[in-house]
């Protein structure tokens, strides 16, 4: 399996650009779209790959996920398992934790978090300029988003949910690397409504490299959220962002996850564990707030409605304070809220 990992890194390093009208000549992000995989380079260096189908290295993908993810120091920022087994210092718990992914443990009663028979199929990726009228800017100019449609299939193979999703990559002025994700979730054509269940098992997720854990044999990690809660106290708290950092290969680096103000129930709750799982989850209120009876966090989408979610992952060098994660979040909001936000369905549980 290690030779396959080397193959992916080789592919990352030779990826050719997919161009869209209006993209600058000296673009920073280059994406090579191949069967089952999108390979992303930033400033001609490996960044990540979206595994969205069958690949030689990792077989068939049950759900789309980004792997590997290379941070600004050159370190891999997420756990190798289960894509690569037997890596020194890694645990083999929770094999459904695949690097960086979106899933939820109760969608009309179907467990897309754990169930191997519940799948998310992805269409071929296509590029477009995002926000062509009122362009959101970055150091390299307007975002180019790479779009696809994901179909969530219950164990019998019937579609119950669609996700018109997009991602974009960028490099900030200080070298931090950005992966931004947009999700537009809606009931499939033959489905009258979707109910996202009240469970902590979800939703926008990352499983960190073992060195970034708070506990464990090779753990060096620290954590903080936008409210100043630290380490184990970030679990179950509402916050605008959460950041983890630690020492990998002798250099300090980390990742921050940003929750956009237009998201459902912002600021979201965080299923942020000491063993390296970090998720933004607007549904698991009963678990996080220890409420009984359960159910306050469930959310219903009727046919014709969409749930729009937007997240930014920032992979940075140094500590959260040194990388000015609070300032990066504020700048992101200032830039993105210049556009009139699109409203989600009214939330009967919104506080």
Instruction: Give whole-number Cα distances, 33 to 49, 164, 312, in Å.
Output: 10, 18, 22
pLDDT band for 144, please (50, 70, 90 cuts).
low
Tokens 């299939």 identify what position?
153
Domains and CATH numbers, the chain: 93-336 (2.70.98)
**Could you tell me where the DSSP H helices lie in the chain?**
2-14, 285-289, 325-336
Give the pLDDT band of residue 145 (cuts 50, 70, 90).
confident
Nearby residues of 228 by Cβ (< 8 Å), 6 or more positions away? none
27 pLDDT tier (thresholds 50, 70, 90) = low
First to last CA, the chain: 48
* Structure tokens given for 249: 């290969």
SS3 label, residue 211: helix
Nearest Cα to Cα of residue 44 among 28, 55, 24: 28
Beta carbons of 279 and 199 less than 8 angstroms apart: no
The stretch 32-57 carries a mean pLDDT of 92
Higher pLDDT: 108 or 134? It is: 108
**Residue 143: what pLDDT?**
58
- Band of pLDDT at residue 23, cut at 50, 70 and 90: very low
Q: What would the DSSP string read from start to end of 109-173?
A: TB-TTT-TT-EEEEPPPEEEESSSSS----TTSSPEEEEEEEEEE-TTS-EEEEEEEEEEEEE-T
Confidence label for 130 from pLDDT (cuts 50, 70 and 90) = low
Contact 212, 246 (CB under 8 A): yes
pLDDT tens-place string over residues 146-197: 899 999 999 999 999 999 999 999 999 999 999 999 999 999 999 999 999 9
3-state secondary structure of 259: strand
pTM: 0.89
């Amino acid at each position: 399996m290690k030779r396959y990992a080397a193959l992916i890194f080789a592919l990352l390093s030779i990826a050719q650009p997919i161009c869209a009208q209006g993209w600058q000549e000296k673009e920073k992000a280059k994406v090579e779209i191949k069967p089952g995989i999108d390979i992303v380079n930033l400033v001609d260096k490996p960044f990540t790959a979206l595994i969205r189908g069958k690949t030689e290295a990792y077989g068939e993908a049950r759900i789309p996920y980004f792997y590997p993810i290379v941070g600004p120091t050159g370190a891999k920022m997420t756990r190798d398992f289960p894509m690569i087994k037997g890596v020194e210092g890694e645990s083999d718990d929770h094999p459904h934790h695949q690097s960086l992914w979106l899933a939820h443990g109760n969608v009309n009663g179907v467990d897309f978090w754990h169930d191997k028979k519940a799948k998310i199929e992805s269409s071929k990726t296509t590029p477009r300029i995002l926000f062509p009228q009122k362009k959101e800017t970055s150091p390299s100019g307007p975002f180019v988003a790479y779009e696809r449609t994901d179909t969530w299939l219950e164990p019998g193979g019937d579609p119950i949910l669609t996700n018109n999703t997009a991602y974009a990559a960028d490099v900030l002025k200080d070298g931090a690397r950005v992966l931004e994700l947009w999700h537009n979730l809606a009931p499939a054509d033959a489905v009258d409504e979707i109910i996202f269940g009240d469970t902590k098992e979800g939703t926008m997720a990352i499983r960190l490299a073992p060195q970034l854990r708070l506990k464990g044999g090779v753990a060096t990690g620290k954590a903080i959220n936008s409210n100043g809660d630290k380490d184990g106290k970030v679990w179950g708290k509402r916050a605008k962002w959460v950041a983890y950092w630690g020492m990998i290969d002798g250099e300090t680096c980390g990742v921050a996850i940003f929750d956009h103000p237009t998201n459902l129930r912002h600021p979201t709750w965080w299923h942020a564990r000491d063993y390296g799982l970090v998720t933004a989850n607007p549904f698991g209120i009963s678990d996080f707030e220890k409420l009984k009876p359960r159910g306050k966090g469930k959310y219903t989408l009727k046919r014709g409605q969409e749930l729009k979610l937007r997240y930014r992952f920032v992979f940075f060098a140094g500590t959260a304070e040194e990388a000015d994660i609070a300032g990066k979040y504020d700048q992101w909001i200032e830039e993105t809220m210049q556009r009139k936000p699109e409203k989600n369905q009214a939330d009967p549980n919104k506080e």
